[in-house]
Structure 1
């Protein structure tokens, strides 16, 4: 893969950053609190850190002008989330990215969001209703994120991917299957 410059949101716990740096890529990390980043990221020569918030237009202007090739978001709503601040942030940020020619977006979503190629299965119902019942505000936010991102028009030159993962935890690397829900290859 050719050298790329990635704008990353939600990077404080992301193994992606380490892998990208190992591959020789450049990162701009958009974070609320830079002190939460490991020193190895914060002090790396190929990493720029922009501290700010999704609801701050000045921060969004700055981060959108970082000359990245792609935007990758690992951000999700925290427990106790109210409303849709993440969706509102994407709604404000993505148009700024498109104006700056960042046309590739990869954004974390949830398996509860039903994509057009998905086949509804028992596993989908289980994850959907579990999140909806036990964490309704997080559920609403992630459904809203999925709806916003999937509404982006390819006619505008934007290429987007919602990556939906469940039961993430820190641990050893494992195989990943890129598939749609209900394909028979999907797992929890």
Structure 2
């Protein structure tokens, strides 16, 4: 499949690109800064550079795609202003609509509930902490997910709490709060692998599974 990845040069995004390549997909990576593009990609990855406000570049990146993956994450920098990723996500979905791309896989935290999930202690704690200490980031994450979930696209949102820079463990708990046992830490490598696997798997269609090691 042809897969376009947004947030492709981030800690999880770059690992997701590598996973998609390993699985035999053709990847287009959308990045803001050309200096952050890994040299290891070489000519294996088509790279499009642009801001999330650049609708022309976003349209170019999605042209010919079979699926879109977003590893975009809200900045927790206290100096950050505005909610550019909300408008950016809207631009992505407009481009998907224009090009007839249905499959979307994104990432979020348990501050966002799965449509069939009830609030639990962990989701309430996650929401309280985000609202209290990272209100701008909370607004951005929930705003992005609202656009995704209210769309008519075939979306999946992968949720996690405490990403760690540890080796891939190939051991995941996957499910939903209130019905399954989901822990806190999870390796970024496992997040990337699970995200990449959803591109051509419909098991979590229009669902938001939570994962942990």
Q: 1:183 is paired with a residue of what secondary structure?
A: coil
Checking the alignment, whether the CA contact within 8 Å between 1:110 and 1:143 is kept in structure 2 is: no
> Deviation of residue 46 (structure 1)?
2.8
| Equivalence for 2:201 | none
| Equivalence for 1:176 | 172
> Deviation of residue 145 (structure 1)?
1.1
Name stretches of at least 5 consecutive residues in structure 1 with no aligned partner: none
| Equivalence for 2:51 | 53
Checking the alignment, whether the CA contact within 8 Å between 1:107 and 1:162 is kept in structure 2 is: yes
Runs of 4+ in 1 over 4 A off after TM superposition: none
> Deviation of residue 92 (structure 1)?
1.8
Distance 1:63 1:152 in 2: 20
> Deviation of residue 121 (structure 1)?
1.4
Name stretches of at least 5 consecutive residues in structure 2 with no aligned partner: 185-213
Q: 1:178 is paired with a residue of what secondary structure?
A: strand
Task: Say which is worse superposed, 79-88 or 96-105, in terms of deviation.
Answer: 79-88
| Equivalence for 1:149 | 148
Q: 1:168 is paired with a residue of what secondary structure?
A: strand
**TM-score w.r.t. length of structure 2:** 0.78
Distance 1:32 1:135 in 2: 23
Deviations 1:97-138 (A, max 9, x none): 122121100111221012221122111111111111111100
Checking the alignment, whether the CA contact within 8 Å between 2:17 and 2:29 is kept in structure 1 is: no
Distance 2:165 2:127 in 1: 23
* Aligned: 1:15 with 2:12: no
Distance 1:93 1:18 in 2: 22
Distance 2:16 2:147 in 1: 24
Checking the alignment, whether the CA contact within 8 Å between 1:78 and 1:138 is kept in structure 2 is: yes
**TM-score w.r.t. length of structure 1:** 0.88
| Equivalence for 1:123 | 122
Checking the alignment, whether the CA contact within 8 Å between 2:62 and 2:68 is kept in structure 1 is: no
Deviations 1:128-178 (A, max 9, x none): 11111111100111011111111012xxxx200111111112111132233
> Deviation of residue 25 (structure 1)?
1.5
> Deviation of residue 185 (structure 1)?
2.0
